[in-house]
């Protein structure tokens, strides 16, 4: 994997910390921490509400706000990254992540917890996860290697996500939930230097393709007039709903069904472990097959896995089989969706445009987390939420099928500035 090309061998002029291999490693470490902390939040649900005396809906509201704020902030952090550089957004995001985790640990009431864990961490995630990291990589690797690079970075992030599960469980057992959050905050600050290599510029192979770059406002308007852009947005809503509901409520669901806390820890670890293979596999497949059909297949496969999990008698075997299946399908949607956006609209404003698509994902995440808590408090069961997640999967598969994924061919923009 080579870094951004020039008129001569790029490896001869770039320092080691900007070479392709290190970029992928840094991207994986950043996303591994940011997504890993998010992935294990379900393990914190029962300890936090037990100590604070809150309901599941209170905790779910904070996590729901986190997902919604992440989605609302993503287009704007994308604009900042596209205009001023991804490394600045990533570094600021890590610092803000640390502040939010500390605020969650020290918040005495539910309002402070929602502000810290919901608003602060939500904004931080918009600068440290897919939108900004994948956008930077899309500009810094050659076009023919782009899909594979996103898959490799996502897989490396999955390794960090997997390692975060036993780490979180060990910290919860050894020092409690407050100190565990502080440890994660310290790690976020330590990760700040990993943002420095991402000094991205025009994509490899595209420099000079136009006399003047397309203005950002025109690029956004062009995307908003494209029906496929909105179909991606709506389909991504199902992804967010399914993943956020499972990640945040599966541990409590299993406890309600009589399984031990260790079962939830193993299930989340298996999801993260299988996600490593799945993200790489779908990134690789996206470079060889039609991405929209792969996405439709993922949503149908997820729906099938959830149906079997809910209908079959619950046991460690069915739980772990479900975890492996869902894990393999977990984040394979992200490199494929990002790949379609760059395939259709180019990569000049990929971070901004993916940010708008990602809002659909996070709106779904908000609904999945919040409705999970609300429905449980009203019915003392998660059954209605499982059925809703399955229905959304079928709808998402249908929405992706008619997407027009052909590249837009534009006339040159004469003398306009971005």
User: pLDDT tens digits, residue range 174-185?
Assistant: 999 999 999 999
CA distance 242 to 231: 17
CA distance 295 to 405: 13
Identify the pLDDT of residue 218: 86
Closest CA to 229 of 76, 354, 69, 313: 354
Cβ-proximal residues to 178 (8 Å cutoff; 6+ apart), any chain: 105, 106
407 Rama sector, left if φ>0, alpha if ψ -120 to 50, beta otherwise: beta
For residue 318, the SS3 value is helix
Decide: 245 and 369 in contact? Cβ < 8 Å. yes
Tell me the two tokens of residue 269: 């670890």
Which pLDDT tens digit goes with each residue over 52-81? 888 888 888 888 899 889 989 988 898 888
Tell me the two tokens of residue 172: 């919860």
CA distance 126 to 132: 7
- By CB neighbour count within 10 A (0-12 exposed, 13-18 middle, 19+ buried), where does 99 fall? middle
Identify the pLDDT of residue 212: 55
Give the whole-number percent of the chain exceeding pLDDT 70.
Answer: 89
Arithmetic mean of pLDDT, 369-398: 93
CB atoms within 10 A of CB 296: 19
Identify the pLDDT of residue 313: 93
- By CB neighbour count within 10 A (0-12 exposed, 13-18 middle, 19+ buried), where does 164 fall? buried
Residues comprising the chain, all counted: 418
Range in 43-52, 110-119, 209-218 the model is least confident about: 209-218
Q: With both helix axes pointing from N to C terminus, report the angle between 261-286 and 41-52 in degrees, rounded to the nearest 10.
A: 150
Q: Which of 129-143, 317-331, 351-365 has the highest mean pLDDT?
A: 317-331
CA distance 256 to 128: 34
Q: Identify the CATH number of the domain defined by range 15-202+212-400.
A: 1.20.1250.20
Give the chain's mean pLDDT: 85
- pLDDT higher than threshold 50 for residue 413: yes
Range in 8-17, 28-37, 328-337 the model is least confident about: 8-17
CA distance 33 to 24: 14
Identify the pLDDT of residue 18: 60
Identify the pLDDT of residue 3: 43
Arithmetic mean of pLDDT, 135-150: 75
Angle CA(346)–CA(19)–CA(351) in degrees, nearest 5? 30
Cβ-proximal residues to 317 (8 Å cutoff; 6+ apart), any chain: none
Q: Could you identify the residue written with the tokens 């985790």? A: 101
Closest CA to 386 of 237, 234, 235, 250: 250
Band of residue 339 on the pLDDT scale cut at 50, 70, 90: confident
Which tops the pLDDT comparison, 267 or 284?
267
Decide: 141 and 149 in contact? Cβ < 8 Å. yes
Band of residue 1 on the pLDDT scale cut at 50, 70, 90: very low
Decide: 121 and 105 in contact? Cβ < 8 Å. no
- pLDDT higher than threshold 60 for residue 4: no
Range in 61-75, 104-118, 154-168, 326-340 the model is least confident about: 154-168
Rounded to a whole number of angstroms, the distance between the first and last alpha carbons of the chain is 30
């Amino acid at each position: 994997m080579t870094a951004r090309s020039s008129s001569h061998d790029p490896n001869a002029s770039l320092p080691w910390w900007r070479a392709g291999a290190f970029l992928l490693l840094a991207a994986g470490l950043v996303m591994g921490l940011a997504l890993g902390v998010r992935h294990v939040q379900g393990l914190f649900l029962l300890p936090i509400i037990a100590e604070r005396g809150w309901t599941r809906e209170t905790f779910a509201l904070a996590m729901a706000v986190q997902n919604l704020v992440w989605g609302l902030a993503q287009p704007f952090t994308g604009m900042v990254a596209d205009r001023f550089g991804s490394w600045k957004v990533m570094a600021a995001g890590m610092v803000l992540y640390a502040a939010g985790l500390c605020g969650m640990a020290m918040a005495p009431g539910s309002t402070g917890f929602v502000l810290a864990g919901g608003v602060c961490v939500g904004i931080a995630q918009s600068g440290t996860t897919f939108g900004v990291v994948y956008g930077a990589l899309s500009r810094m690797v050659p076009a023919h290697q782009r899909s594979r690079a996103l898959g490799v970075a996502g897989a490396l992030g999955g390794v960090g996500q997997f390692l975060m599960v036993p780490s979180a469980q060990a910290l919860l057992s050894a020092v409690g939930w407050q100190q565990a959050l502080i440890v994660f905050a310290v790690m976020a600050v330590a990760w700040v230097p990993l943002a420095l290599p991402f000094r991205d510029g025009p994509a490899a192979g595209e420099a000079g393709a136009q006399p003047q770059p397309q203005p950002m406002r025109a690029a956004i308007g062009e995307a908003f007039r494209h029906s496929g852009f909105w179909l991606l947005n709506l389909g991504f809503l199902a992804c967010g709903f399914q993943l956020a509901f499972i990640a945040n409520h599966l541990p409590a669901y299993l406890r309600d069904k009589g399984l031990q806390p260790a079962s939830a820890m193993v299930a989340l670890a298996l999801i993260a472990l299988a996600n490593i293979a799945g993200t790489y596999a779908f990134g690789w497949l996206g470079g060889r097959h039609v991405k929209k059909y792969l996405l439709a297949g993922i949503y149908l496969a997820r729906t099938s896995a959830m149906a079997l999990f809910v209908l079959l008698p619950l046991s460690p075997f069915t739980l772990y089989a479900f975890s492996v299946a869902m894990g393999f399908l977990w984040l394979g949607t992200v490199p494929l969706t990002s790949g379609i956006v760059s395939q259709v609209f180019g990569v000049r404003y990929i971070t901004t445009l993916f940010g708008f698509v990602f809002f659909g994902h996070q709106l779904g995440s908000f609904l999945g987390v919040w409705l999970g808590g609300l429905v449980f408090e009203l019915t003392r069961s998660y059954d209605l939420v499982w059925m809703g997640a399955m229905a959304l999967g079928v709808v998402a598969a249908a929405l992706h099928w008619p997407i027009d994924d052909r590249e837009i061919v534009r006339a040159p923009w004469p003398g306009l500035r971005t």
